[in-house]
Chains A and B, each alone.
Chain A
Amino acid sequence: MRPILECQRLTKKYGNFYALSDLTFSLDRGQIVGLLGPNGSGKTTLIKLAAGLLVPTDGHIMINGLAPCTDTKKIVSYLPDRNFLNEHMRVRELLSFYKDFYENFSTERACKMLDSLEIDRHMQLQSLSKGTKEKVQLALVMSRVADLYILDEPIGGVDPAARDYILRTILTNYDENASILISTHLISDIENVLDRVIFLKSGQLALNASVDEIRTQYGKSVDVLFREVFKC
């Protein structure tokens, strides 16, 4: 089976700055992968390249064997690190919007999640708090039956109780063949759900290993290893 995500000598330059340099790795299906690294290590750049929001300077990035295109966007569910929805729309209008554009969007699943989070579907997005907006965004993204979920800082702006709910949601809403690429600084919060981690350092691959390998080989948790590798 083809890897769900493949990078071959992937490079992205902003002016003279290399955000990613010569990055090569692949991700198999059915895994929850943590994309970890300090600020400016290239995590968001890699995610944006996979989502088709940036064009590589050099090398290739492939989703299910294809460069980012209309077909890959059908199977990738992407959560950016910022509010990306039209603030004038109501939550129920956003549900219709997602239903209109994504064949794999489950309104039922989204409604169930919104109800669990006690979010009123008639509310306008601009009248919701920052954390609630993030919950709405996550509910929409996780309500798609996608092959690859790319989540950029999904738990950064929500309270610890909601964080637990979100992580449970992530775990319960994806099927075995789907993969999740999740970028976060809150490693200890997500460590238990991860199958594999990728450490990025200055735009280059510092580590690509399964969580079990880290525990047996290094005898450490991912959080502790991260703090050692990226010690300032």
Chain B
Amino acid sequence: MLGKLIKYDLRASAKIFILLHAAFLLVCAAARLLVMDRLDFHAPAETLIAPITVMLVLGTFLISALSLCTSLLITFRFYRNLFSREGYLSWTLPVSGTTHLWAKIISGYLLAALDMIIIYAGILLLVTGRNVTAAYQPVAPEMAEAIGMPLSSFGLCVFIFCVIGGISSVLLIYFSICVGQLFPAHRVLCAIAAYFITSFVIQIAVLVIMAALGMLDYGTGTDTLADEMFSLLVPNTIFALLLCIAQYAAVHYIMNKKINLI
């Protein structure tokens, strides 16, 4: 049953997901051909600043928009399938609440992870032109020294942390929706409130814990960017995974004991 649920979940989101991500990759390919490949890194710096700034701003906007769309896709699927009128079918299937939850976690996480992979692929597509790599070559040793490892390895590490962390963002969405459905009169509003309040509390808790453990004392022993990043990323990821367990327990309880489709 789990496999069937995942199949229908993925099928329901596939069309929009593929369309959005194909469009993103197309834009990246076009930007590579029309802008990045035409950049002359031997030209004066002033002529490079404008196109690179525009690319950075547009790229950041596009990536943020794509991530937001993927999150919304995951959110709508979970809400619609379980707590709107479609829930009348979902909850009367011979499937337990736990199986429903795992199906949603797996399908949601697959979409989130695939989204990150495609975003990284798009970024790689943009920055792996011969002119860019040739321009980077002379400063590569300096960069590697400043970062503490080659840029490619650093990028890979950040990517792995992002993919691992993706599970917590999926569970946070499900947790918020489940908390919202405990208030039948204002389900959506309460889910949004639960999302922002939980996010805020998590941020504060992470800061407090890190401050208490002395992890926010910069420049006292760490030299490279990688050291500083990892000193933040590792505890953050561990905390996020611990939080996942707590959120899973809460969602599991609500989905098995507190379902009320009014």
Pick the contact of B261 from A54, A70, A100 — CB < 8 Å?
Answer: A54
Q: Do A101 and B259 have beta carbons less than 8 Å apart?
A: no
Query: B223-236, CB under 8 A of A: which get 1 and which 0?
Result: 00000000000000
* Bound-complex Cα distance A161 to B258 (A): 41
Number of B interface residues, CB 8 Å? 22
B213 at the interface (CB under 8 A from A): no
A85: B residues at CB distance < 8 A: 86, 89
B128 at the interface (CB under 8 A from A): no
B88 at the interface (CB under 8 A from A): yes
Number of A interface residues, CB 8 Å? 25
Which stretch from B25-33, B35-43, B92-100, B154-162 is at the chain A interface?
B92-100
Q: Do A76 and B92 have beta carbons less than 8 Å apart?
A: yes
Q: Do A73 and B92 have beta carbons less than 8 Å apart?
A: yes
A86 at the interface (CB under 8 A from B): yes
A232 at the interface (CB under 8 A from B): no
A71: B residues at CB distance < 8 A: 94
Q: Do B12 and A78 have beta carbons less than 8 Å apart?
A: no
Q: How far is the CB of A55 from chain B (nearest CB, A)?
A: 6
The 9 A-B residue pairs with the shortest CB-CB distance, nearest first, are A84-B88, A80-B88, A53-B261, A73-B94, A74-B94, A84-B89, A101-B93, A78-B92, A100-B4
B-side residues, CB < 8 A to A, are: 1, 4, 8, 12, 85-89, 91-96, 184, 257-262
Given contacts A82-B88, A84-B89, 15 further A-B contacts (CB under 8 A): A48-B261, A51-B92, A52-B259, A53-B88, A53-B92, A54-B259, A70-B95, A70-B96, A73-B92, A73-B93, A80-B88, A86-B12, A100-B4, A101-B1, A101-B95
